[in-house]
Amino acid sequence: MCVAATPVIMNIFNGAQISSADIEIHSVNTLKSEPREAIQKYNIKRIPTLVILEGNEEIGRITEYVNSSWSEDIYSILDNRNEG
């Protein structure tokens, strides 16, 4: 996730009442080689990548660019989770 976007994203998660204990942040280097385990586990190909999980299941992903805004895109993923 982009360093500049981190506070915005954290505020969105806070507003969605997602506990910081449920959030993992992995800083991926520009070569996308470290941390190797996280890159492989979450299939990171581009930076920034935000992967939203429910349990161990990926429910949504934002890769490189947002469609509308961080807020709209994240809430769209979370809303789709609640509809399923």
pLDDT tens for 23-75 read: 988 888 888 889 999 999 999 998 889 999 988 899 999 998 999 999 999 99
Q: How confident is the model at residue 13 (pLDDT cuts 50, 70, 90)?
A: very high
38: left (phi over 0), alpha (psi -120 to 50) or beta: alpha
How far is Cα 28 from Cα 2, in angstroms, rounded to an integer? 9
pLDDT value at 4 more than 90: no
Q: For residue 57, what pLDDT is reported?
A: 92
Exposed e or buried b per residue across 21-45, where buried means at least 16 C-beta atoms within 10 angstroms of its C-beta: eeeeeeebeeeeeeeeeebeebebe
How far is Cα 45 from Cα 20, in angstroms, rounded to an integer? 25
Q: For residue 1, what pLDDT is reported?
A: 53
Say which residue the tokens 């490189």 belong to.
Answer: 64
Distance between first and last Cα of the chain: 26
| pTM for this predicted structure | 0.84
